[in-house]
Structure 1
Amino acid sequence: MEKKAKPFSHIDLRVTSWEKALPFYEKLLPALGFTRRFDSSDWKAFVAEGDLPDASYFAIAEDPDHTPNKNLIGFWAHDQQEVDYIAKLVREAGGKITAGPGLFPISPTYYSVYFEDPCGNAYEFLHRTN
């Protein structure tokens, strides 16, 4: 079987409230490279560069009964400065920093920030060189 160059397709995320979550994601996702937007009555889709249907996307649906769990979505950062920038953006957009930004004992160069969206969904944005 041929290995795919880009194994990630999409994320389908639930939030408890469009009102609480959309302003946060409208700031965060473009900074992570999801610069195009396609909406329907049920979904708000933030799409990365590339031709559809191959472009990766991050889709959000409202579900008032959704309960966040211990799942975590992680994104790579180009460098530590980008981690710091995303941490600042998360704070400004109404997210909650749960740890960092800083070095973590996973490896000597593991620099990360852990955060939650306004509905409690968990993320990590990290840079490491080893």
Structure 2
Amino acid sequence: MNKFSHIDLRVTHMESVLPFYEKLLPALGFRRTYHSADWRVFAAEGELPSVAYFAITEDPEHRPNRNLIGFWAKDREEVDAIAQLVQENGGTVTAGPKLFPISPTYYAVYFEDPCGNAYEIVHRLN
């Protein structure tokens, strides 16, 4: 059983990053929304609370750190597509997309949201 439940993410300015996440998260399978005054919630298919979700809230004092959130890609084309989506929607690609020396098939892109929160999407066969 996959024990993953959710991510609670802080961003410095909701208005400036929400368009980025409204493009990125649906592309990663978080298509259902449950927004409130303080939180923007993007959930995977299914019903809460039994599905994974990504919740975003504003915290003007937030400072990105060296934490990284990683996602699986079904193939290299999906990695490339996410890299393009990031660049077109205000994010920053920090490395890749390319093969990394983690394993012979580790194809990934590393990127940051407009606030500097770090991510990776990877496809690998072994």
Structure 1 residue 86 corresponds to structure 2 residue 93: no
How far apart, in 2, do the equivalents of 1:52 and 1:58 lie? Answer: 12
> How big is the shift at 1:6?
2.4
After TM superposition, what 4+ stretches of structure 1 lie above 2 angstroms from structure 2? none
Show the counterpart of 1:35.
31
User: Normalising by structure 1, what TM-score?
Assistant: 0.95
Q: Distance in 1 between matches of 2:26 and 2:58?
A: 20
Deviations 1:33-85 (A, max 9, x none): 00011111110000100122101100000001100000000000000000000
Aligned partner of 1:93: which letter? N
1:46 to 42, 56, 63: 42
Aligned length: 126
1:63 aligns with 2:51: no
Within 2, Cα distance between the matches of 1:94 and 1:52? 29
C-alpha distance after superposition, 1:77-117 (max 9, x if no partner)? 00000000000001111100000000001111000000000
Match of 2:106 among 89, 100, 110: 110
Give the equivalent residue in structure 2 for 1:7.
3
Which residue matches 2:121? 125
- Name the TM-score, length of structure 2 as normaliser: 0.98
Counterpart residue number, 2:73? 77
1:96 to 92, 96, 102: 92
Aligned-partner Cα distance in 2 for 1:126–1:44:
25
User: Quick one: distance in 2 between partners of 1:34 and 1:6?
Assistant: 17
Q: Give 3-state SS (helix, strand or coil) of 1:8's partner.
A: coil
